[in-house]
Chain A
Amino acid sequence: MIVWTDIFILMLVLADFRLLATSRLAAVIQTTVLQAIALSAFMLTIADRPWPLLLIFLSLVTLTVKGVILPWLLNRAMREAGVQREIEPIVGYSASVLIGMILLGLSFLIFIPLKSSVSVESSFLLPGALFTTLTGLLMIVSRKNALTQVAGYLVMENGVYAFGAALAVEEPLLVEMGVLLDVFVAVFVMGITVYQISREFDHIDTDRLSELKD
């Protein structure tokens, strides 16, 4: 099973690089679907077979929320705002990928001293999860398009969720459901706000939202 865990984590990490490298919003949204599949699949690979029913349920819900509903919401917001791609990111795409490589290296370094205290079988899991979180953060700070930032939030949340998935069964279902619900509502509310911004300003470039300052 550990092979499969590693493969899915690898998928998550490769998806991160695609997110950093592309300018097209549609590609970003597609890649989050890929991440959702990897995430919900590897939740299963960590647990021993036969899988508890609860875990299968949780994995399916994760797939539905992160892989179907949220991408659909983002796609709709994209159509309504009429924006196809990121025009001028603050950090360019090649530079983003380079920064991504450095972050990946750092993620592995950080967990060397912490490894002993947690029994996670795959040595890729924690660095991969941290890297995904950092990729999301990088997308939020280095892109101007509000929708790319929302996608970045989603990616970051995926990374954090991967940490949680590493613990698999121990967290009560109620909390997991609450987390998923919150992420869903967050993207929903952000989508509405992006729509309002695009109607009010005729663009969704957040660097031009700069009137309020001291």
Chain B
Amino acid sequence: MLVSIVLIPLMLGLLALVMPWKGARRALLIAGAAYHSAMTVFLGLFRKDAYTSGAWIGLDSQGLLFLAITSALFLAVAIYTTGYLGRDSERKVRDSVEGFLFSNEPEAMFIACLLLFLTSMSMVCISRDMGLLWVAVEATTLVSAPLITFHRHHRSLEATWKYLLICSVGIAIALLGNYFLAFAGHGKTHLNLDNLVAGAGLLDQTWLKAAFLMLLVGYGTKMGMVPMHTWLPDAHSEAPSMVSALLSGALLNCAFLGILRGHTVLAAAGLGEFSGELLVFFGMLSMAVAAAFMIRQNDYKRMLAYSSIEHMGILALGVGLGGLAGTGAMLHAVNHSITKGLLFLVSGHLLFTYGSKKTYDVRHVIRTAPLTGILWVAGFLAITGAPPFGAFLSEVTILKGMLEADRWGIAIGYLAVLAVIFIAMARIVIPMAFGLPQQDQPVEESPLSKKEPLWFAGPAMVMAFIILALGLYIPGSVWNFLGQAAAMKGGF
């Protein structure tokens, strides 16, 4: 039952490679996404059957949370992609920076890789074995590399090369972490999460610490943690927007899950403070560095990429502190993914409308394309943690966790960085939305640019509605569930 969530997208993906008809291929993408979300909802409601202790795969609270995020985001992206491919896959596209014409990757390859990407991310979410988790995370890198080079030109190749090499090296280090975990168990423990947690008292502490460091560096590279983040802004800015949405909203979370598993084992072995403090340090560092790069950023997709680094920092910080902050971090993962997915889809439409990724070329969106403008401003308010959106609630919960733990220094730093980011982003986004265009260069109005197509507006509005709803009301059962996920028990 559970394994079908991996197998069905895998089969559909392979089928898409050989499918000769365009319409049928896109239908496969939608079918994969729809099956995946239906199955995730079903498993979420009746997941007693989806978990046995000691099994290779199972659905625990952390896995379910990240699986649900991935699934929801993928559904939105799948709908967007079918429309996008209908518009862009055949024609020659003019490059937004240098103005040359280029053609896109074959559509079959792109759809197949999207489905395989879903496969590998689902595998990450459901694996209960550190070795299997590693295999799945590495697989996500490999199947997403062709997604980043969808636009066949030199900048996307450069981004793909950096992504492939840096992430592969990082993940090789995570493999070292896995082997160190095995050393910690004197070579006699299987790397199953249940075994590791149950026998945590017997693990060798020195090796365990070394193992966590390696896992942190390894999966941290993939997650975009400073200073291993250098691939992230390039890949996010050069990939097509829906791929950026998936990378940012789903893939980074999956890498974070790898770190969470390591943290779970260390916490069970009584070293939770060691791993927690490391997470807090790297979380703060990521937030601060991301903030520095967001000031005066003139490429709005890169701005969103740095914002992802910042939010990964917040997640690491919250989980590192534990307690209420941990619960807040889990909620924040949901808020960040949906909001960032929305923002990247909107940025894709801005790029299409204005033909430029530069912030100063995009002016007066609220008039040119009113719905896009409203969504862009709403997304900005949501991502910077302004009320009444979901991220406000989760960021305040994390703050409350900090104050409960008496970490005043951290709390002050956290608020200061958030304030800097709010101002930096406002200075970029507000002129884009409301600023008047410069007189000397009139915007070329293409006939398409006025109206948002349904395949863009539909998913984007639903996502906006979700982040608004998350900010207004969260039922008690959901809080309980998030608390379980944050408890680092490795089980339900």
CB distance from B392 to the nearest CB of A (A): 28
Chain B CB within 10 Å — which of A113, A166, A179, A214 has the most?
A214
Q: Enumerate chain A residues within 8 angstroms of B129, measured Cβ to Cβ.
A: 175
Stretch from B20-28, B179-187, B269-277 contacting the other chain: B179-187
Q: Enumerate chain A residues within 8 angstroms of B238, measured Cβ to Cβ.
A: 212
Closest 4 CB pairs of A and B: A175-B131, A178-B135, A182-B138, A209-B158
Look across to chain A and name the residue whose beta carbon is closest to the beta carbon of B97.
A211
**Is the beta-carbon distance between A114 and B207 smaller than 8 angstroms?**
yes
CB distance from B163 to the nearest CB of A (A): 10
Map CB proximity to A onto B142-175 as digits: 1 under 8 Å, 0 otherwise. Answer: 1001100100111101111110110011001101
Q: Is B465 an interface residue (CB 8 A)?
A: no
Look across to chain B and name the residue whose beta carbon is closest to the beta carbon of A163.
B179
| A164 vs B164: C-alpha distance when bound (angstroms) | 23
Look across to chain A and name the residue whose beta carbon is closest to the beta carbon of B180.
A163
A211 and B168 in contact, given A164-B179, A182-B135, A186-B142 (Cβ under 8 angstroms): no
**Is the beta-carbon distance between B154 and A160 smaller than 8 angstroms?**
no
Q: Is A189 an interface residue (CB 8 A)?
A: yes
| A106 vs B146: C-alpha distance when bound (angstroms) | 39
Q: Enumerate chain B residues within 8 angstroms of A16, measured Cβ to Cβ.
A: none
Q: Is B87 an interface residue (CB 8 A)?
A: no
**Is the beta-carbon distance between A133 and B135 smaller than 8 angstroms?**
no
Q: Enumerate chain A residues within 8 angstroms of B145, measured Cβ to Cβ.
A: 189, 193
A209 and B161 in contact, given A117-B204, A117-B206, A179-B134 (Cβ under 8 angstroms): yes
30 A-B contact pairs sorted by A residue (CB < 8 Å): A114-B206, A117-B206, A117-B207, A118-B207, A119-B186, A119-B187, A133-B172, A137-B169, A140-B169, A146-B161, A153-B165, A160-B172, A170-B187, A171-B131, A171-B182, A175-B135, A179-B134, A182-B138, A182-B142, A186-B141, A186-B142, A186-B164, A186-B168, A189-B142, A190-B164, A193-B161, A201-B157, A206-B161, A212-B155, A214-B233
**Is the beta-carbon distance between A196 and B175 smaller than 8 angstroms?**
no
**Is the beta-carbon distance between B176 and A163 smaller than 8 angstroms?**
yes
| A34 vs B165: C-alpha distance when bound (angstroms) | 23
**Is the beta-carbon distance between A174 and B175 smaller than 8 angstroms?**
no
**Is the beta-carbon distance between A118 and B138 smaller than 8 angstroms?**
no
Q: Enumerate chain B residues within 8 angstroms of A175, measured Cβ to Cβ.
A: 129, 131-132, 134-135, 191
Q: Enumerate chain B residues within 8 angstroms of A113, measured Cβ to Cβ.
A: 206
Q: Enumerate chain A residues within 8 angstroms of B175, measured Cβ to Cβ.
A: 157, 160, 164, 179
Look across to chain A and name the residue whose beta carbon is closest to the beta carbon of B189.
A170
Q: Is B368 an interface residue (CB 8 A)?
A: no
Q: Enumerate chain A residues within 8 angstroms of B234, measured Cβ to Cβ.
A: 212
**Is the beta-carbon distance between B149 and A196 smaller than 8 angstroms?**
yes
| A117 vs B211: C-alpha distance when bound (angstroms) | 14
Q: Is A5 an interface residue (CB 8 A)?
A: no
Q: Enumerate chain B residues within 8 angstroms of A206, measured Cβ to Cβ.
A: 161
Map CB proximity to A onto B212-223 as digits: 1 under 8 Å, 0 otherwise. Answer: 000000000000
A160 and B139 in contact, given A114-B210, A212-B158, A214-B297 (Cβ under 8 angstroms): no
**Is the beta-carbon distance between A170 and B158 smaller than 8 angstroms?**
no
Q: Enumerate chain B residues within 8 angstroms of A119, measured Cβ to Cβ.
A: 186-187
**Is the beta-carbon distance between B142 and A212 smaller than 8 angstroms?**
no
**Is the beta-carbon distance between A170 and B132 smaller than 8 angstroms?**
no
Look across to chain A and name the residue whose beta carbon is closest to the beta carbon of B163.
A193
A211 and B161 in contact, given A117-B204, A118-B186, A172-B190 (Cβ under 8 angstroms): no
CB distance from A120 to the nearest CB of B (A): 9
Look across to chain A and name the residue whose beta carbon is closest to the beta carbon of B182.
A167
Chain A CB within 10 Å — which of B129, B131, B210 has the most?
B131
CB distance from B391 to the nearest CB of A (A): 25
| A22 vs B183: C-alpha distance when bound (angstroms) | 34
Look across to chain A and name the residue whose beta carbon is closest to the beta carbon of B177.
A160
Chain A CB within 10 Å — which of B142, B149, B204, B210 has the most?
B142
**Is the beta-carbon distance between B179 and A160 smaller than 8 angstroms?**
yes
Map CB proximity to B onto A93-126 as digits: 1 under 8 Å, 0 otherwise. Answer: 0000000000000000000011001110000000
Q: Enumerate chain A residues within 8 angstroms of B164, measured Cβ to Cβ.
A: 186, 189-190, 193
**Is the beta-carbon distance between B161 and A197 smaller than 8 angstroms?**
yes
Q: Is B302 an interface residue (CB 8 A)?
A: yes
CB distance from B363 to the nearest CB of A (A): 22
**Is the beta-carbon distance between B139 and A182 smaller than 8 angstroms?**
yes
Q: Is B408 an interface residue (CB 8 A)?
A: no
| A175 vs B175: C-alpha distance when bound (angstroms) | 11
Within 8 A of A (CB), among B101-158: 129, 131-132, 134-135, 138-139, 141-142, 145-146, 149, 152-155, 157-158
CB distance from B153 to the nearest CB of A (A): 8
Chain B CB within 10 Å — which of A118, A179, A211 has the most?
A118
**Is the beta-carbon distance between A193 and B138 smaller than 8 angstroms?**
no
Q: Is A149 an interface residue (CB 8 A)?
A: yes
Chain B CB within 10 Å — which of A137, A179, A181 has the most?
A179
**Is the beta-carbon distance between B132 and A178 smaller than 8 angstroms?**
yes
Q: Is B70 an interface residue (CB 8 A)?
A: no
**Is the beta-carbon distance between A157 and B165 smaller than 8 angstroms?**
no
Q: Is A185 an interface residue (CB 8 A)?
A: yes
- 18 additional A-B pairs beyond A137-B169, A189-B142, beta carbons within 8 Å, are A149-B165, A160-B175, A163-B180, A167-B187, A170-B189, A181-B135, A182-B135, A182-B138, A186-B164, A186-B168, A189-B145, A190-B165, A201-B154, A209-B158, A210-B158, A211-B154, A211-B155, A214-B293
**Is the beta-carbon distance between A196 and B132 smaller than 8 angstroms?**
no
Q: Is A200 an interface residue (CB 8 A)?
A: yes
Look across to chain A and name the residue whose beta carbon is closest to the beta carbon of B168.
A186
CB distance from A76 to the nearest CB of B (A): 18
| A172 vs B131: C-alpha distance when bound (angstroms) | 9
Chain B CB within 10 Å — which of A137, A157, A160 has the most?
A160
Q: Is A63 an interface residue (CB 8 A)?
A: no
**Is the beta-carbon distance between B233 and A170 smaller than 8 angstroms?**
no
Q: Is A156 an interface residue (CB 8 A)?
A: yes
Q: Is B237 an interface residue (CB 8 A)?
A: yes
| A185 vs B184: C-alpha distance when bound (angstroms) | 29
Look across to chain A and name the residue whose beta carbon is closest to the beta carbon of B297.
A214
Q: Enumerate chain B residues within 8 angstroms of A179, measured Cβ to Cβ.
A: 131, 134-135, 175
Q: Enumerate chain B residues within 8 angstroms of A156, measured Cβ to Cβ.
A: 169, 172
Partner of A212, one of B141, B159, B165, B204: B159
CB distance from A169 to the nearest CB of B (A): 9
| A167 vs B207: C-alpha distance when bound (angstroms) | 14
| A181 vs B120: C-alpha distance when bound (angstroms) | 14
Q: Enumerate chain A residues within 8 angstroms of B184, measured Cβ to Cβ.
A: 117
CB distance from B148 to the nearest CB of A (A): 10
